[in-house]
Amino acid sequence: MTAGGDAQRFERLIVPHLDAVHSLATWLTGDAADAADLAQDTCLRAFRFFDQVRGDNVRPWLLKILRNTHFSRLKAASHTPAFTSFDDAAAEVALAVAGGGESASDPEALLLRTEDRDLIRRALFDLSEDQRMILILREAEGLAYKDIAEILDIPLGTVMSRLGRARKLLAARVSRLRQEAGNGSRRS
Amino acid sequence: MDHAEAERLLDLYADAELDAGLAGRFESHLAECEICAGRLSRFEADRTVLARVVARQPAPLDLRAKILNDIRAAARREDRRRVTPSPWMRYAATVAATALLTGAAMLALTGHDGRRSVADTVFNDHVRALATHRMIDLASSDRHVVKLWFDDRLSYAPPVKDLKTKGFPLLGGRVDYVDGRPVAVFVYARGPRLVSLFLRPVRRDQWPAHVITRRDGLNIAWWSNGTFECWAVSDVSAADLLQLRKSFLNGREGIRL
């Protein structure tokens, strides 16, 4: 097959997933220009490793390349490790500090409300990259745990625990931001 | 299933990650336990809100175009590393050489100078594209890919058709300049031969429904549906070009604009 044919086949394969790639890139970088760069790099890199992909599994494969591309860009940008692999114990501490542990949350209250849209967005960016990413993979992409495990390169058990913590931490962070917003408006 | 176990499994159940057996037992517990039922419904309400916040946004069109450009450029670099030209490239080079050697005689379309000069332009564009191996800038038979690519480069949205079932598979497209403006050129295959089909919004409508002429071994056809006009240039037979005209833009297509 000619490279032109490869390009054609590749385009057909990835075009349906460009929205997903761009979306995750936006959540990872938090910046439109960086997200576009990351999406471009990802697709180009994917084209180079095109022969690895199985036809039925394109989206997780692309998103995994996106994650790896993102991390290698971060590494390249700085000699000190710009990210540390997610420390699940540290998340417990963060959760306790945020006051969002099992004991502190009110089981009767809805944690997230539609009017909190902006708060939720801010809270997501307060989470670690790993936590934010796992929530996006699950809630925006609707991926199964096994696909998430593959993308993040972690065991299934870690997917479950990390997702559980990320959900709790997000809810705690949102309720903290909501309180701050409430106090702020009372003060003014 | 006891309550403690159900609590542990609630997220997994909501994420549809339990196997059928466990899910069934969880549901039995759910039917009897208001606490778990309440938690599940709150979990799902939270999820709905979160899903809306994180819902995918469409990737910007210019990003799509950049990505497709990158891939084509990478593919071309690949291509240069491979020494064997594809059969159509070798064929195209032969045709181009022949056409150039024959020299340029004027197209006999008397009385319509504008159209004659366009016929010159599309003829020359086609021959030059063949000679320089630049027939196709975007290689794709995917209508959506081709459409996106043109959308980014033109001030109008050409209707894109893969006419494979009519015997003219779409190979891709390029942009050429006619009258100083960028114009969509679709490249179709007819067996081993190539057709350049130039398409632009129609300028004047008093011309006849279609014209076919011949020049230096190439046939040139013009037709219009009142919205767009098409120029097709190729070494396929005049009958084939008429066939292409019947399949492409013979009537209502393009009126959507």
Q: What is the DSSP string of B2-66?
A: -HHHHHHHHHHHHTT-S-HHHHHHHHHHHHH-HHHHHHHHHHHHHHHHHHHHH---PPPHHHHHH
Closest chain A residue to B59, measured at CA: A19
One-letter amino acid at A91 equals: A
Q: What is the mean pLDDT of chain B?
A: 79
Residues of A in contact with B59 (CB under 8 A): 18-19, 21-23, 39
Which whole number is the average pLDDT over B43-49? 90
Give Cβ neighbours of residue A21 (< 8 Å, ≥ 6 apart).
A14, A39, A42, A43, A62, A63, A66, B59
Asked if A108's CB is within 8 angstroms of B74's CB, the reply is no
Cβ burial, residue B123 (10 Å; 0-12/13-18/19+): buried
Spatial contact of B235 and B95, defined as CB atoms under 8 Å apart: yes
Phi, psi (rounded to 5 degrees) for A69 = -60, -45
Cβ burial, residue A162 (10 Å; 0-12/13-18/19+): buried
What is this structure's pTM?
Answer: 0.56
Which whole number is the average pLDDT over B35-47? 92
- In this complex, is the C-beta atom of B45 within 8 Å of any C-beta atom belonging to chain A? yes
pLDDT band at B89 (very low <50, low <70, confident <90, very high): low
Which whole number is the average pLDDT over A53-82? 78
ipTM rounded to 2 decimals: 0.82
- What is the per-residue pLDDT for B12? 93
More confident residue, A163 or B104: A163
Spatial contact of A58 and A14, defined as CB atoms under 8 Å apart: yes
Which whole number is the average pLDDT over B172-183? 86
Query: Which one of B11, B67, B139 has the shortest CB-CB distance to A8?
Result: B139
pLDDT digits (tens, 9 = 90+) for B114-158: 566 778 888 888 888 887 778 888 888 888 888 888 888 888 888
Asked if A4's CB is within 8 angstroms of B136's CB, the reply is yes
Residues of A in contact with B78 (CB under 8 A): 3, 6
- In this complex, is the C-beta atom of A48 within 8 Å of any C-beta atom belonging to chain B? yes
pLDDT digits (tens, 9 = 90+) for A90-107: 555 565 555 544 444 444
- Rounded CA-CA distance B8/A173 in Å is 22
- In this complex, is the C-beta atom of A68 within 8 Å of any C-beta atom belonging to chain B? no
- What is the per-residue pLDDT for A131? 94
- Residue B23 has a CB neighbour count (10 Å cut-off) of 15
Residues 120-159 of B with CB under 8 A from A: 136, 139-142, 144-145
Closest chain B residue to A163, measured at CA: B11
Provide the β-strand partners of residue B189.
Answer: B194
- Residue A126 has a CB neighbour count (10 Å cut-off) of 16
Among positive and negative, which fits the CA dihedral A50, A56, A62, A67? negative
More confident residue, B151 or A5: B151
- In this complex, is the C-beta atom of A124 within 8 Å of any C-beta atom belonging to chain B? yes
Say whether pLDDT at A42 is over 70. yes
Q: B62: which 2 tokens?
A: 């210019």
Helix axis angle for A156-187 and A129-139, nearest 10°, is: 100
One-letter amino acid at A76 equals: A
User: Starting from the edge strand earliest in sequence, which strands make up the sheet with B193-201, in order?
Assistant: B138-139, B170-178, B181-190, B193-201, B228-234, B218-224, B210-215
- Rounded CA-CA distance B5/A27 in Å is 34
Spatial contact of B170 and B163, defined as CB atoms under 8 Å apart: yes
Query: Which one of B49, B75, B82 has the shortest CB-CB distance to A113?
Result: B49
Query: Which one of A7, A22, A140 has the shortest CB-CB distance to B59?
Result: A22
- In this complex, is the C-beta atom of A10 within 8 Å of any C-beta atom belonging to chain B? yes
Count residue pairs from A and B with Cβ separation < 8 A.
141
Say whether pLDDT at B83 is over 90. no
Which whole number is the average pLDDT over B12-35? 93
Query: Which one of A19, A48, A108 has the shortest CB-CB distance to B56?
Result: A19
More confident residue, B91 or A115: A115
Residues of A in contact with B58 (CB under 8 A): 19, 22
pLDDT digits (tens, 9 = 90+) for A79-89: 444 444 445 55
Q: Which residue in B205, B139, B85, B39 sits closest to A5, CA to CA?
A: B139
Residues 80-119 of B with CB under 8 A from A: 82, 86
- What is the per-residue pLDDT for B124? 84
pLDDT digits (tens, 9 = 90+) for A132-183: 999 999 999 999 999 999 999 999 999 999 999 999 999 989 988 888 887 7
- What is the per-residue pLDDT for A136? 96
Asked if B79's CB is within 8 angstroms of A3's CB, the reply is yes
Which whole number is the average pLDDT over B156-162? 86
Say whether pLDDT at A39 is over 90. yes
